[in-house]
Amino acid sequence: MSPENFLSSSLWTARVKTYFKLMDVNGDGFLSPSDFDEIASRMLQIEGNQSKAEEIRELFRSLYQYIVAGGAAINSNTKVSEEEFLTNAAKAVTSVESPPEVARKKNEVFFDLIDTDNSGNISCDEYRKYLAIYSGREDLDMADQAFKSIDIDGDGLIDREEFIEGHIRYWFEDGSDQSFSPLPYGPLVTP
């Protein structure tokens, strides 16, 4: 599939815009390294394990550089607009030779960070805390909708496969398959 296929999908662009809005921590209409640094710092607060600090910071730097900035060189002054991000994200999801494997690895790390009790499942409470990291506030309705959209079997827990599959589909499917439409970041923004 080409970047144009993704960019022509209103569902996919709404997904990416939803992520953009969530990640724009300072609300200035741009994504900058400082937005991602702030979220990494918040993630460290719930993780409580500073031994993973560099791994978490590097994960967010990598996401910013290769997905948000499209692989371009970045510095503390780099700012990416929503339109630039849409284009860069579409290129990123179509340029990876094996998208599910790359996404799987990233989401394995996120799953382990969110599963703070190390039970092998993410509870609704753990997912609420995870989304609050991004938004800087707890929104129970948004978090509950996001949680339920990923909890495919409806058992009240998100297992590793549900989490990974939900995130892979969110990014790597254009929205033409409506049989499973996860919303890991909550309800989609409207244009």
Distance from C-alpha of 6 to C-alpha of 41, rounded to nearest angstrom: 31
Specify the pTM. 0.90
Sequential DSSP letters for 74-126: --TT--EEHHHHHHHHHHHHHH-SSHHHHHHHHHHHHHHHH-TT-SSEEEHHH
In a domain, 191, yes or no: no
In a domain, 102, yes or no: yes
In a domain, 179, yes or no: no
Mean pLDDT of 123-148: 91
Distance from C-alpha of 87 to C-alpha of 76, rounded to nearest angstrom: 21
Mean pLDDT of 173-190: 81
> In the prediction, which pLDDT does 134 show?
82
- Name the pLDDT band for 55 (thresholds 50, 70, 90): confident
Domain that holds residue 97: 3-172
> For residue 123, is pLDDT > 60?
yes
Mean per-residue pLDDT of the chain? 89
CATH classification at residue 155: 1.10.238.10
In a domain, 35, yes or no: yes
In a domain, 190, yes or no: no
Closest CA to 39 of 133, 138, 110: 133
> In the prediction, which pLDDT does 150 show?
95
Q: What is the domain count for the chain?
A: 1
